[in-house]
Amino acid sequence: MAEILPLKAWRYAEALTPKMEELTAPLFDVVSARQRKLLYENPLNSIHLSVPKGENPAQNAQETLLDWKSDGIIHQDAQPGIYVYYQYFRLPGEHDERCRKGFIAQIKAYEWSDEVILRHENTIVSAVNDRIELLRQTQIQASPTHGLYEDTEEQLENYMDEAIANPLYELEDYQGVREVMAVIQDPDIIRCFLEVLKDKQVILADGHHRLEGAIEYRKSMQGKLAESRWKGHDYHLMYLTNTSGNHLKILPTHRLFYGLELSQDLLLEKIKEWFEVKKFADPEELEAYAFHKPHTFGLVMGEESYTLKLKAGKMDLMNLHLPESIRQLDLAVLHEVLFARILNIPVADQRNSDQLTYERNFSRCIHEVRSGKASFAVITRELEMEQVLEVCRSGEVMPQKSTYFYPKALGGLLFASIKQNEFDFDYGAFFE
């Protein structure tokens, strides 16, 4: 089902390889403003292509790209390849190192209705429009989205293990994750990758706005370059990982609420109509609290903290129009009850509400509340992988910011051009 292709990647010049830690960039929404400032201070950091600044950011990115090409800052690989990408990491408190294995390739930017790439979150129109304009101006993709495929036989892992023994790059990223990348250019092995994926659906783990932008750009280019069998604008850069035998980790994303108009006492009374509320001794211990039971949360408000558990029978009163895969999700309950019914922000409006923000950093949640900036924080538990798969198969979408797949793919390790004269190759040779 999923058509993938190898790519002729643009990469930083070999002389810059020792500086890759300074040139790569994390996704824009996972780093603080202070971290972003440091990235922008480096004129060669890939953030200038992925999230350009200025009054005309897309045009600025285009000019930067042209300068980097003409100055030899980046070069294009002559032969297409599959770029093997391993991420070695530890979670807090762990001794043993985990490894998430995957590879980066081009995948056709399928319509959602094709049900080849399955999404689990909605997108925000303004963010998608920004991505479309950036693609139109630069015709370059500076960071891959992240997709999951299911292959219980693990048919590609041996090829990837062999390749990663001779890496192009090995560096430590902003979170201490060890990032290792290698390339496979053997046509016979590449053919195996294409063969395995052709019968797979892909579940989009991260990068909904970037992929939506690629889909819309592809549609805008329909009918153009009719003479080309392989059209660059049809494809999208993606990091693909196997759901089987892999260290896929989903971290929780907590909720911060600002500008509460109710008194804290009245809010608690309203919450008690829906939840069993128990006082919790120390807010800073909530991060380590095991929310074993479904529909349970932590609440930090003022100097106090609480645990919340949905009361028996309350599920019968809500979200009756949703399939069970969505209805039973903790975050579906949270957004329907607390934010929609108690705080009167309709679910459809919550995605664009300036009162509601999303924060994976527990300590930052505590700080925002204690400083008086945020009215309260809701501490959530992580989703299970099987829940994500069920939702995607149902065709429904989760509440926004439901998943935080860790670690995030790093931008700047390679760039994928959809400019036709840079994209062109006899890709048919990989299908023979």
Q: Which residues of 358-385 are buried (b: 16+ CB within 10 A; e: fewer)?
A: ebbebeebbebbeeeebbbbbbbbbbeb
d(CA 417, CA 49): 12
Q: Is the pLDDT of residue 126 over 60?
A: no
406 bridge partner residues: 249
What confidence score (pLDDT) does residue 122 get?
65
Which residue, chain included where needed, has tokens 């153009």?
224
Residue 207 in contact with residue 144, Cβ under 8 Å?
yes
Which residue, chain included where needed, has tokens 């029978």?
313
What confidence score (pLDDT) does residue 80 get?
97
* Average of per-residue pLDDT across 338-364: 90
Which residue, chain included where needed, has tokens 């509440």?
399
Report CA torsion sign: 14, 18, 23, 26. positive
SS3 readout for 210-273: HHHHHHHHHHHCCCCCCCCCCCHHHEEEEEEEECCCCCCEEECCEEEECCCCCCHHHHHHHHHC
H-helix segments, 42-103: 47-50, 57-70
Q: Which amino acid is at 261?
A: E
What confidence score (pLDDT) does residue 94 get?
80
Q: How far does Cα 250 stand from its chain's mean position?
A: 11
What confidence score (pLDDT) does residue 67 get?
98
d(CA 14, CA 168): 10
* Average of per-residue pLDDT across 239-244: 93
State the DSSP string of 289-325.
----STTEEEEEETTEEEEEEEPTTGGGGS-TTS-HH
Identify the band that residue 83 occupies on the pLDDT scale cut at 50, 70 and 90.
Answer: very high
Nearest to 274 by CA among 202, 224, 340, 212: 340
Under DSSP, the state recorded for 415 is B
The per-residue pLDDT of the chain, averaged, comes to: 90
At 257, give phi and psi (nearest 5°). Answer: -120, 135
pLDDT cut 90: percent of the chain above it = 64
| pLDDT tens-place string over residues 299-330 | 999 999 999 999 988 888 877 677 777 778 88
Instruction: Output the CA–CA distances (angstroms, integers) from residue 103 to 54, 156, 169, 172, in the order listed.
Output: 33, 10, 14, 18
pLDDT cut 70: percent of the chain above it = 97
Q: Is the pLDDT of residue 145 over 80?
A: yes
Q: Is the pLDDT of residue 125 over 60?
A: no
Q: Is the pLDDT of residue 351 over 70?
A: yes
| pLDDT tens-place string over residues 156-213 | 999 999 999 999 999 999 888 999 999 999 999 999 999 999 999 999 988 888 999 9
Q: Which amino acid is at 268?
A: L
Q: Where are the domains of the chain?
A: 4-250+406-430, 253-381
* Average of per-residue pLDDT across 15-30: 90
- Say how many residues make up the chain: 432
CATH of 253-381, one of 3.30.1760, 2.30.29, 3.40.50, 3.30.1050: 3.30.1760
What confidence score (pLDDT) does residue 96 get?
86
Q: Is the pLDDT of residue 270 over 90?
A: yes
Residue 283 in contact with residue 366, Cβ under 8 Å?
yes
Number of H helices, E strands in the chain: 15, 21
Q: How far does Cα 39 stand from its chain's mean position?
A: 19
Instruction: Output the CA–CA distances (angstroms, integers) from residue 152 to 88, 156, 203, 242, in the order listed.
Output: 21, 11, 15, 8
Strands 296-301 and 376-379: antiparallel
* Average of per-residue pLDDT across 115-144: 84
What confidence score (pLDDT) does residue 279 get?
93
d(CA 17, CA 286): 42
Q: Is the pLDDT of residue 123 over 70?
A: no
